[in-house]
Amino acid sequence: MKKDFKLIIDNEGLENQSATDAGGRDELQRWPLFGLSVGSFLQVIAMERQTCMMEVYLDADHWGHFCFVEGDLYDAVSGAMSGEKAAMEMISWENVRLNIKQILNTTGLTRKIDKNLMLLLMESTRLRDEGGDDENQPDPEVAEDSEDREVVADHADSEKLSACLNIMVKDMGDALTAVSIVDVGKGKVLASYHTAPETAEAFSGLTNFLQSAFRENTQAVLGDHLILDLKNQQTLVLLLFGEQQWCIVFDNVKCTLGLLRNVVMPKVIRTFNEMK
Amino acid sequence: MNIQKLNVCMDILKKDLGEGFVASCILTTEDGQVLVATDQANIAEATLLNDATALIRNALKTYPAELGQYYYIDVAGNMAILVIPFGDYQWTITVNKKLVKLGLLLNVVLPAIINAFEDAVVS
């Protein structure tokens, strides 16, 4: 899926820019970058392990910033909101202008966002989709079989999930052993690759067990991922975001955990986010 | 099982993780009884993870696949739990994930402590 980005840096071409409804030229010069989505830019900063502040401008009433320390998202501020709430708000903005500022001293910075950026982006997409459900009444279940892939979801999600599976299959090649995407709340398998429904359901059951066991017996709350070392050089990564659970099994010699977490999954999420 | 070596395992772990170490507990998988635990160890959590390991093994049978040397659970906030099932025993380690990088934990600390743990168990 190709998308033509128009990226303007250092204020070139501001005279002809009409993509924002911002006020005057001075105002635009404060945010010289545009053409990329907030999510895409956040992923670039995270992948480059930058320590910086990314300022985001939607309009005179909606602007804020993200703080990164060595690629980790530490905080976000937008109006009266801060932390994860502000981050989710700004990620949902479209047609924004951006600016990057270096952070020279991080000693006073307090980390307010614990969630992995990747999962914040997926959660944002999920919320956006849920918001759009009223306009697009879900079709009856659509099943799309293509060789080993199987996608069973409403029409809006099926294309996204299918595209995501395609990317994983292409990028990971024969390192990818199996994938399943499950709606944990409904106990429904949304998409799968080389995974039997009973396997996907078994891991959905495991997540439910851990979530309720943690909630009822300890003060801890289950986070957003599990990593299982398997025999025969396999690794299983279980990602949780909202009601969805992604279960990915791969050969950890052919594809490292770092490659999956830092290269493949961001690409998958970017695709998931960019598809309308 | 060599208790002295088991205590050595704990010492290695504390030394390697430094301030990232939060708590640790070793229990028997058969009855969930604790053998060794540090001050901050959450015994209830460790016992539940004993059940979780059984669930994981059952879930993996459907692939089919088998659990390897460890599994890692991300916990909301600063913590994460590393679980090392080995034979009749299970070692649960709670770390501060903000202070211990995942790569360091899995690629440096884990191999060292697994060797020490296996040595303690078979002695």
Say how far apart CA A251 and CA A230 lie, in whole Å. Answer: 9
For residue A145, the model assigns a pLDDT of 39
Task: Enter the tokens of residue A61.
Answer: 């009433």
CB contact under 8 A, B73 and A258: no
Mean pLDDT of chain B: 90
For residue A25, the model assigns a pLDDT of 58
Chain A's closest residue to B43, CA to CA, is A218
CB contact under 8 A, B74 and A224: yes
Percentages helix, strand, coil for chain B, rounded to the nearest 5? 45, 30, 25
| Binding-face residues of A in 73-112 toward B, CB within 8 A | 111
Partners of B36 in the beta sheet?
B26
Q: Which of A33, A138, A45, A132 is nearest to A92 (CA)?
A: A132
Interval B84-96: pLDDT, tens: 999 899 999 999 9
CB contact under 8 A, B66 and A231: yes
Residue B81 has pLDDT above 60, yes or no: yes
| Binding-face residues of B in 55-84 toward A, CB within 8 A | 55-56, 58-60, 62-63, 65-80
For B86, counting Cβ atoms within 10 Å of its Cβ (0-12 exposed, 13-18 middle, 19+ buried), the class is middle
Yes or no: say if A113 and A67 are a contact pair by the CB < 8 Å rule.
no
String of b and e for A136-166 (b: at least 16 CB within 10 Å)? eeeeeeeeeeeeebbbbbbebbbebbbbbbb
For residue A236, the model assigns a pLDDT of 93
Min Cα distance B102 → chain A (Å) is 10
Min Cα distance A74 → chain B (Å) is 11
CB contact under 8 A, B67 and A214: no
For residue A148, the model assigns a pLDDT of 55
Interval B13-46: pLDDT, tens: 999 999 999 999 999 999 989 998 988 888 888 8
Chain B's closest residue to A193, CA to CA, is B63
Q: Can you give the pTM of this predicted structure?
A: 0.66
Q: Tens-of-pLDDT digits for all 276 residues of chain A?
A: 444 444 444 444 444 444 444 445 566 667 777 767 788 788 888 877 888 999 998 888 888 999 998 888 889 999 888 888 899 889 888 888 888 888 878 877 888 887 778 778 777 776 776 665 444 443 333 333 344 555 555 555 777 788 888 888 888 988 999 998 888 878 788 888 888 888 888 888 888 888 888 887 777 788 889 999 999 999 999 988 777 888 999 999 999 998 888 888 888 888 877 765
**Among B59, B79, B103, whose Cβ lies nearest the Cβ of A202?**
B59
User: Which chain B residues are within 8 Å of A120, Cβ to Cβ?
Assistant: none
Min Cα distance B34 → chain A (Å) is 17
Strand arrangement of the beta sheet that strand A33-34 belongs to: A33-34, A97-102, A52-59, A62-69, A72-78, A81-82
Give the orientation angle of helix A38-47 with respect to helix A117-132, to 10 degrees: 170
CB contact under 8 A, B74 and A225: yes
User: Which chain B residues are within 8 Å of A206, Cβ to Cβ?
Assistant: 52, 55-56, 59
Question: Which of B50, B71, B109 to probe the A interface (max A CBs under 10 A)?
Answer: B71
Chain B's closest residue to A239, CA to CA, is B74
B64 contact partners, CB below 8 Å, separation of at least 6: none
For residue A240, the model assigns a pLDDT of 84
- B48 SS3 class: helix
Does A128 contact chain B (CB < 8 Å)?
no
Say how far apart CA A134 and CA A73 lie, in whole Å. Answer: 32
Say how far apart CA B79 and CA A114 lie, in whole Å. Answer: 10
For residue B21, the model assigns a pLDDT of 95
Nearest-10 Cα torsion for A162, A168, A169, A174: -160
User: Which chain B residues are within 8 Å of A225, Cβ to Cβ?
Assistant: 74
**Among B71, B78, B103, whose Cβ lies nearest the Cβ of A229?**
B71
Say how far apart CA A266 and CA A273 lie, in whole Å. Answer: 10
Does B4 contact chain A (CB < 8 Å)?
no
Asked whether this complex has an ipTM greater than 0.85, the answer is: yes
User: Which chain B residues are within 8 Å of A69, Cβ to Cβ?
Assistant: none
For residue A276, the model assigns a pLDDT of 53
Q: Which of B10, B9, B30, B2 is nearest to B87 (CA)?
A: B30
Other C-beta atoms lying within 10 Å of the C-beta of residue A93: 17
Question: With pLDDT > 90 as the criterion, what percentage of chain B qualifies?
Answer: 48
Residue B82 has pLDDT above 60, yes or no: yes
Yes or no: say if B19 and B36 are a contact pair by the CB < 8 Å rule.
no
For A114, counting Cβ atoms within 10 Å of its Cβ (0-12 exposed, 13-18 middle, 19+ buried), the class is buried
